[in-house]
Structure 1
């Protein structure tokens, strides 16, 4: 009786022992032509056994990489792709860079950072000031929604200054309510409300005349 500990090590258990044995047999073939032919057959068999790989990009390349790993990096065949070395496979993935918005600022979202960068790029003027105030207003809304509490404008100004690395500063404005953008939006909103009221009153008068 043969125990698993006496069998050839499975370098990739997901492929099973049959494919592992085929790879070992391929390594023993005397001619390059025979090894190439058998390697192609093994690649096709591996693809049939793992059809999910077909949905991945460059799946053929991955199958050849897996074949070389199954051969313990010792297989003399002509591959259409360069084989990975043990050192390359042992390399740890590079540490991902986390976005700037961490901790106290994560609730502002990536779009706020993008708007801040856009505002920094603009030349000084009304357009730049308006965009900065739009950013501050959106920051205030995001803060209130996330923290479920009212935030004072000076906190928003301080956060904006920090996120922009001191390149955007609203400390000269007493409050967002007194800023141009807020004032203009409120005026526009009040104007729309008044127009709607006037339209409703006109409709009521018109309906009343028709009833008479």
Structure 2
């Protein structure tokens, strides 16, 4: 009974254990790292640290010899030791401040643009075009943007659109800096642009036609089957 009670007293429950820093590696590896941090001899600590790195790499053997992955393992080793481990690392040792540093806020795109059928990328392309120097390259880029706007307009609105409508929208989106009314350029034909827009729909239609033809063939085979024919 004394042996049993002593064994029970040695049991550890997750509720009383310390929280794992990186749970993916498990508690045994965490305990091993905690033991390394208290080794007094520096050479022994270095050997133990390399051994732990090999154990961590064995969990992902296909990435074990990749240089970037090795850097990641060493960083995780210092993080799991709560930055208390003092060993010679082949990579820069991370700090707690860098780990706790918050990332920069992302600039999300406009949620409610005026012309939603153009998308947000059009506004980025227009901003880039306005920064370019005057010349043939800028004129060609503006013409590409206008044709793309026309294609987007045709995809979501109707089958035909006048070039003047696209020119007005481009003038408005560029704050009056890009004016195609002054040029003699003409946009691509609406029929040609609609061909490009219908490529994917033609593919889906082709697949549906194949399915319909297969079902028709199945019905024909059933009708040809003598068992399905009525006896005269």
TM normalised by structure 2 equals: 0.61
**Which of 8, 11, 14 is the matching residue for 1:4?**
14
Mapped contact 1:10–1:20 kept (Cα < 8 A): yes
Q: Counterparts of 2:17 and 2:141 in 1: how far apart (Å)? A: 69
Deviation at 1:68, TM superposition (A): 0.8
Alignment-derived partner of residue 107 in structure 2:
97
**Which of 16, 23, 44 is the matching residue for 1:13?**
23
Deviation at 1:47, TM superposition (A): 0.5
Q: Counterparts of 1:132 and 1:17 in 2: how far apart (Å)? A: 60
Alignment-derived partner of residue 84 in structure 1:
94
| Greater CA drift, 91-100 or 101-110 | 101-110
Structure 2: 5+ residue stretches without partners: 1-10, 193-232
Structure 1 segments (4+ residues) deviating >6 Å: none
| Counterpart secondary structure, 1:5 | coil
The aligned runs of 1:24-35 (5 Å cut-off) are: 24-35=34-45
> Quick one: structure 1 residues 128 and 60, their matched pair in 2 at CA, closer, same or farther if it must change by over 3 Å?
closer
TM normalised by structure 1 equals: 0.66
Q: Counterparts of 2:54 and 2:106 in 1: how far apart (Å)? A: 35
The aligned runs of 1:35-114 (5 Å cut-off) are: 35-51=45-61, 53-54=63-64, 58-98=68-108, 103=113, 104-105=115-116, 107-108=118-119, 110=121, 113-114=124-125
**Which of 174, 181, 185 is the matching residue for 2:186?**
181
Alignment-derived partner of residue 123 in structure 1:
134
Check if 1:148 corresponds to 2:157: yes
| Counterpart secondary structure, 1:43 | helix
Deviation at 1:55, TM superposition (A): 8.9
Structure possessing the higher relative contact order (Cα contacts under 8 Å, 6 or more residues apart): 1
Which has more helix, going by share of residues?
1
Deviation at 1:154, TM superposition (A): 4.5
**Cα deviations across residues 53-93 of structure 1 (Å, max 9, x unaligned)?**
54977111110111111111111111112222222111222
Deviation at 1:118, TM superposition (A): 4.7
Q: Tell me the matched-pair count.
A: 178
